[in-house]
Structure 1
Amino acid sequence: MPESAKNKVVVIGGPTASGKSATAMDVALEFDGVIINADSMQIYRGLPIVTACPRPEDEARVPHRLYQVMDPSETCSAGLWEKMCIEEIKKAWAGGKLPVVTGGTGLYIKTLVQGISQLPAIPDEIRNEVRRRGDMEGVEVLYEELQQKDPEMAGRLKPRDMQRICRALEVLETTGKSLALLQREIKPEPVLKADYDTHVIMPPRDILYERCDRRFNIMLEQGAVEEVRWLNEQKLDPKLPAMKALGVPELLSYVRGEINLEEARETAQMQTRRFAKRQCTWFRNQISNPKIHSAQYSESLRDEIYNKIRQFLLT
């Protein structure tokens, strides 16, 4: 890595099945890099096929970090991921390697590159009480309370998004202010002061959807059902993030005998396509100044990305 490349980070994002992992792999090989995961599901152990984690042969060619490092019984937040990511970036720099951060979780990437509002810490007693009420009374009751106390924040959330509804109530109880107001008042700044070169791989919609469908079929062939059967045996809280990974709810219904495999396949593919569409919208509207590549990953696109990264590293 050239001297001028110190303190620099390449970020490669994009929707699921867009080809970003292949892009990151090529970039890491070309520029002597370390790949650092920015996918909120690939961080959990036990589901490498369902979450499309790197293959062992890929990990043998290029160092990969933050893949399968947490148990599915745990919850990884954007803030926790940011701390782990920054640690891995600094290790890469110290070893003379280029950090290549890649994944489809736009919030993680935004947190690293642009920062997020540093909200006051929530006391354990408040958090525990709100979560207890959620378990006892249900999400509908908490959402109705949020609508009464903080209609602006309630209007931003889905009525059944337990995690975010609880978060909004916790902040309101702790600070006496709306989370929406605090997010406007507290200007975000990135924790890690670095130069970021952000690329987003975004193939045409028809190609992306076809890749989503094909990838899920491949996952089934490779053993996705067996992974989800193992996950089902862990008897985890259904509200945990790992239980909501793409394809997991549908395959859980299948292994529990609630639907047949074809129904699981069709529903999971539909949900994956919808998710990919939302990811595209996020990357276009929430990430500052990304280099968006609106094409399927190919040799010509690879060379285009290489040239842009070379210019970035030399400036």
Structure 2
Amino acid sequence: MKPRAVVIMGPTASGKTWLACELAMRYPVHIISADSVMIYRGMDIGSAKPDRGELERFPHALIDIRDPAEAYSAAEFRRDAIAEIEAALGRGQVPVIVGGTSLYFKRLLDGMADMPASTPEVRAGIQAEAERVGWPAMYEQLRSIDPVACQSIHPNNLQRLSRALEVHAISGRPISDHWEAQASDGTSGEVRLADGQLVSFLQFGIMPSDRAWLHEQIALRFDLMLDAGLIEEVKVLLDRGDLHDDMPSVRAVGYAQVWEFLNGHCSHAEMRARGIAATRQLAKRQMTWLRRWPGLQVLEAGPAADQRESMLQSTLSQVADFLQK
């Protein structure tokens, strides 16, 4: 039988972690996090990381694997996720990959282009140039080099912008050329294990049926994060002295807005409003991406009292059929 795994994607605050834990109560699963903020140690509240009790009951791989000062690429995620999938299958478990970082899922399920490895020297040179001329000028530089890549890289996504410039500097080829080679290699939607077997995926996407409800959930969750000590959590990061606002960890939604507040750039009310607005924008981007993702089993989430139970029963039915094939 072909190895099988389950994927749970969805926008922030839609119930992904809850659904993964429900599966863990019924099947021998191994939960693998696909969240680009939960990877960081000490960034618990703002990332909505499961608490210690939940993690003891339902362990998650790829959580707390990096210091906030360290980078973590989609290529590294793919490598680590495949290793976790192989280990889980070897133990007779069902891998369940859950999270909201679209790029991680794209790299895992679409494969990786044959791109040059990142080098600290080139990356530092790009950072130094950006500090001198500004990131908007760097984006225009990328536009002149690779207009195709600029169509999918937002000017504010400094990590992807820097990586695109780095790939061109090292290889002499636009990063979009590497993407095109990846798209034509015939591996889309498949993950090949070390023994040559291809993993079959059942892919769920949680899609809120009521946007107003999702916005309410986002606002409620952000307020709960503030009550739980998000400002104090970010202050610990700020007081370290070795982090700056160009780092992926500090640019994370919620953390970036509290960082601005602690540095005196906005009031508490402005910070709250900006944090909620940024989270809404993130959810919108996540849902737009999900609508374009092929082969997705859509699960509707919403305010109705029985909607969560309906979503769970639909998931359990599909997972049972999938594992018996």
Output the TM-score relative to the length of structure 2.
0.88
In the alignment, which residue of structure 2 is the partner of 1:222?
A: 228
Letter of the aligned partner of 1:38 in structure 2? A
C-alpha distance in 2, partners of 1:156/1:64?
30
Letter of the aligned partner of 1:44 in structure 2? Y
Residues 169 and 258 of structure 1, relative CA distance in 2, 3 Å threshold: closer
Does the CA-based 8 Å contact 1:115-1:191 persist in structure 2? no
**1:17-41, Cα deviation, whole Å (9 max, x unpaired):** 0011100100111112121100000
C-alpha distance in 2, partners of 1:167/1:253?
25
Matched, 1:92 2:92: no
**1:262-285, Cα deviation, whole Å (9 max, x unpaired):** 221111101111110110011121
2:259 to 246, 252, 256: 252
**1:67-108, Cα deviation, whole Å (9 max, x unpaired):** 112100111111111111112222212222211110000111
In the alignment, which residue of structure 2 is the partner of 1:212?
A: 218
Matched length = 310
In the alignment, which residue of structure 1 is the partner of 2:201?
A: 196
C-alpha distance in 2, partners of 1:171/1:191?
25
Q: Does the residue aligned with 2:264 lie in a helix, a strand or coil?
A: coil
Query: Which structure 2 residue ranges, 5 or more long, are not aligned?
Result: none
Quote how far apart the aligned CAs of 1:125 are: 4.6
Residues 120 and 69 of structure 1, relative CA distance in 2, 3 Å threshold: closer
Quote how far apart the aligned CAs of 1:123 are: 5.6
Quote how far apart the aligned CAs of 1:63 are: 2.3
C-alpha distance in 2, partners of 1:172/1:42?
30
Q: Report the more deviating stretch, 230-239 or 304-313.
A: 230-239
Letter of the aligned partner of 1:271 in structure 2? A
Quote how far apart the aligned CAs of 1:61 are: 1.9
Quote how far apart the aligned CAs of 1:261 are: 1.7
Query: Which structure 1 residue ranges, 5 or more long, are not aligned?
Result: none
Percent identity at matched positions? 34
- RMSD between aligned residues: 2.0
Quote how far apart the aligned CAs of 1:251 are: 1.0
Quote how far apart the aligned CAs of 1:155 are: 4.5
1:13 to 9, 12, 27: 9
Matched, 1:237 2:244: yes
Letter of the aligned partner of 1:302 in structure 2? L
In the alignment, which residue of structure 2 is the partner of 1:281?
A: 288
Q: Which has the higher contact order (CA 8 A, sep 6+)?
A: 1
In the alignment, which residue of structure 1 is the partner of 2:98?
A: 102
Matched, 1:169 2:165: yes
C-alpha distance in 1, partners of 2:249/2:217?
23
Matched, 1:115 2:125: no
Q: Does the residue aligned with 1:294 lie in a helix, a strand or coil?
A: strand
C-alpha distance in 2, partners of 1:65/1:147?
37
Residues 230 and 212 of structure 1, relative CA distance in 2, 3 Å threshold: same
C-alpha distance in 2, partners of 1:276/1:117?
27
Equivalence map 1:151-170=2 (5 Å): 151-170=147-166
In the alignment, which residue of structure 2 is the partner of 1:30?
A: 26
In the alignment, which residue of structure 2 is the partner of 1:298?
A: 308
Q: Report the more deviating stretch, 252-261 or 14-23.
A: 252-261
C-alpha distance in 1, partners of 2:153/2:310?
41
C-alpha distance in 1, partners of 2:118/2:93?
37
- Aligned structure 1 segments of 4 or more residues deviating by more than 4 angstroms: 122-125
